[in-house]
Every structure is written in C-alpha cells, then in structure tokens.
A and B are shown apart, each in its own frame.
Chain A
Amino acid sequence: EAGVTQSPTHLIKTRGQQATLRCSPISGHTSVYWYQQALGLGLQFLLWYDEGEERNRGNFPPRFSGRQFPNYSSELNVNALELEDSALYLCASSFGQSNQPQHFGDGTRLSIL
C-alpha cells in the first residue's frame, strides 16, 4: 500500500514569491492535514481538510491556504513568502475525523532565500 506522497521534495523560493506544495493521501483516507516543522518551533498544525472542505486551521496568517480535490489529494499554497516560512512542511492523512491515527509523508523542504 502506497503511503502519503508529497511533492516536490525540496523547493527554493525568494521572498515575496508564491509556493505550492502537493500531497496525495493513502488510498481510502478522506482527511488531509498540513503541519509546519520549523527549526526551534516544533511541529505546528496548519490546516485540516476532509471531504473537500476546510475543517480547521491553525494560528497562521491568511497567506497560508489550501484546498482538497475530489480525489482527496491536497495543495498547500503560501503567498508572499517570508524568510521565516523556511521549514519542512508535512502532510498527513487519516480515515475520517478525530482520534484516528494520522500517517505522514516525508515532507517538502521549503527554503526562502
């Protein structure tokens, strides 16, 4: 069974640009979650999508946004990139909603120059 896949593996951008990160969940999983793992800040919850709808978002500015497609894959968009957006962005998926284990991909390393 294929796990959660994320692309690209690495992404290098400059300040002010826009970044798009992609995630394909495990087959049968309907929920997709995004987390940011920044140096010194730990793992922070960004967004939760389920059945195509945004269900919850963490304490991040509106320039962090995303969507979930009918096939349950997801995109994370970050606009007006800032230096502090440099981080590993992890996507996870699960069956349905809360309390189900979340299974993670290997992440996209976003570097802002």
Chain B
Amino acid sequence: GDSVTQMEGPVTLSEEACLTINCTYTATGYPSLFWYVQYPGEGLQLLLKATKADDKGSNKGFEATYRKETTSFHLEKGSVQVSDSAVYFCALSGQGGKLIFGQGTELSVKP
C-alpha cells in the first residue's frame, strides 16, 4: 500500500542554518504531495504542496520539489528561524480521500 517515510528527529539547528528534511514515498498512481507543520498545541497547517512530477511547492521560505524518479519530496529552507521550531509532516493523497502521513520530524531551532 501507499506509504510515506520521513527522516527521524529530533533535528536541532542553530538560527540561520540550512534545513533539509528528507521524505520518500511509495504510491500507486500519481498522488499529490504535501508538507504540513504542527506547532505545539495546535492542529496541522498546510505549508506547501505539489500536484505532479517536477512541481516545486514553496511558502514562507520553505521549498520542496516533487521528484518522481527518486520518489522524494524533501523539505528545504535556506535559513531557519527560532519560530520555525515545530513538527513537520510529509503526506500524500491516498485512495479514498485520505492523506497518508509520515511519522513527523521535530525541528528545534536554537538562537
């Protein structure tokens, strides 16, 4: 079945460091791919999306490119801030309306 695998956390970075969170997927068909972010005590916020191969999603300095050949959708940011500290979830649109999520990667950014 469809699945998403993310790099394990926690990831701890200093402010202004570069961020990469790896995400790979297994899917039948051509799913849409998403990154969501969850701040403490809150629900999930859609960070960015890509609907087909080679699409690049971007928002708030974060980017991810839909790579069909490597079945990947890695999240990147050139310079992280303390306010980026959160849990990040990679997800794909599965059959029957559901989102299939990775296990989440906790990011902690230190000043």
Q: B97 and A55: CB pair below 8 A?
A: yes
Q: Beyond A101-B46, A105-B43, is A42–B103 a contact (Cβ under 8 Å)?
A: yes
- How far in angstroms is the closest Cβ of chain B from A108? 10
Q: A56 and B89: CB pair below 8 A?
A: no
Say yes or no for B60: interface residue by CB 8 A criterion.
Answer: no
Interface string of A65-103 (1 = CB under 8 A from B): 000000000000000000000000010100001110111
Cβ contact of B101, chosen from A6, A42, A56, cutoff 8 A? A42
Interface string of B35-68 (1 = CB under 8 A from A): 0100001111110010100000000000000000
Which residues of chain B are near A105, meaning CB under 8 Å?
43
Say yes or no for A107: interface residue by CB 8 A criterion.
Answer: yes
Q: B42 and A106: CB pair below 8 A?
A: yes
Q: B101 and A103: CB pair below 8 A?
A: no
Q: A43 and B101: CB pair below 8 A?
A: yes
**Nearest chain A residue, comparing its CB with the CB of B46:** A101
Which residues of chain A are near B31, meaning CB under 8 Å?
99
Q: B99 and A90: CB pair below 8 A?
A: no
Which residues of chain B are near A50, meaning CB under 8 Å?
97
Q: Beyond A55-B96, A56-B98, is A42–B49 a contact (Cβ under 8 Å)?
A: no
* Nearest 4 interchain pairs by C-beta: A56-B96, A45-B98, A48-B97, A104-B43
Given A48-B96, A56-B96, 13 further pairs, Cβ under 8 A: A43-B99, A56-B98, A90-B44, A98-B95, A98-B97, A99-B32, A101-B34, A101-B46, A101-B49, A102-B46, A102-B99, A104-B44, A106-B42
